Amino acid sequence: MNKPTILLVDDEERILRSLQMLFFTGYNVRITTDAHEAIRILRDEQVHVIVSDQRMPIMQGSELLRVARETSPATMRILLTGYSDMEASIASVNEGEVFRYLLKPWNAVDVKEVVAQAAAIATSTFATQQSPIAAVIETDKQKLRILVMDNDQSTASAVEEILQHRAEVIWSQNEQHAMDILAKQDVSLVVADLTMDGKSVSYILKTVKQFNPQTQIIVLTSFNDTSRLVELINQAQIIRYLPKPIRNNILARNLEFVIERFHALGNTPALQNRQSVEAIKDPQEKQLSGSFMSMLNRLRSRSSLTQN
């Protein structure tokens, strides 16, 4: 069996050598300090996973992963950085659509596990010749249901105005109502502020993604805590981060993209593996998520029995 190929990119050769040692067996390892060389490798070779540092002089990692997404869509993308760089974090969500965000100094076991998972997913994608950005078949598109979680009703109004009659838009202004909706109905897209009534609802987004990988998540918020954003990338696979105040033209453009991504995942279920998330680590969020997940499973099971 052919070994998966991983491409490691960092402008510091010392870092590259350290990373290379982690993958000495089990992989074909390609390394480079030059982002342009990395792009050439992606064009010429089948690369399963690219791991890129963020702070590089020729091209920042988030930009490299954006190009990687266009050049080789099936390649899984991982961003590695030791800096609390909010702009880079946002770019990695909105442009590179990274699978995981890893912080320096890294934990060797964690890095190896993440790369192994990414390599397995990419191997399956390449084997079935399924592109993560494949065109969507226009027929049989399921009805969209969008949940807007925000204390401010104007957010839901903006989504309704943009989509008009193309989707059912449900506005939830509190945590419990949002959970009730998610427990009773399938939701295509969640557009959410991270706080409702001053309380974090990140655990809801993380649980939703565990429960249904096809559901897409857009975060609209004014927070500037990089560590929380990194968690949302890794544990909720948020696909877009858009800061408040909302600009309708930007929201419209991103809604269109995310809706197409939702349909693409529905047409090619195997691609949902690329939406897999890391386990929740915060003890309080883990407890809240466990309770919510139990409610989801219980109510969905009851609904299934009623329908049968």
Structure tokens at 265: 């995942």
User: How high is the pLDDT of residue 55?
Assistant: 87
Contact by Cβ (8 Å): 239, 132: no
pLDDT digits (tens, 9 = 90+) for 248-307: 999 999 999 999 889 888 877 777 788 889 999 999 999 999 999 999 988 777 655 455
- For the cut 90, the answer to whether the pLDDT of residue 95 exceeds it is no
- For the cut 50, the answer to whether the pLDDT of residue 308 exceeds it is no
Q: Which domains does the chain have, with CATH numbers?
A: 5-128 (3.40.50.2300), 144-307 (3.40.50.2300)
Contact by Cβ (8 Å): 233, 92: yes
Mean pLDDT, range 148-160, rounded to an integer = 95
Calculate the average pLDDT of the chain.
87
User: Model pTM?
Assistant: 0.84
User: How high is the pLDDT of residue 267?
Assistant: 75
The b/e string for 177-208 (b: 16+ C-beta within 10 A; e otherwise) is ebbebbbeeebbbbbbbbbbeeebbbbbbbbb
Parallel/antiparallel/unpaired status of strands 195-196 and 240-243 = unpaired
User: Per the omega criterion (within 30 degrees of 0), is the bond before 105 cis?
Assistant: yes
Contact by Cβ (8 Å): 88, 60: yes
pLDDT digits (tens, 9 = 90+) for 6-38: 999 999 999 999 999 999 889 999 999 999 999
Nearest to 52 by CA among 5, 19, 95: 19
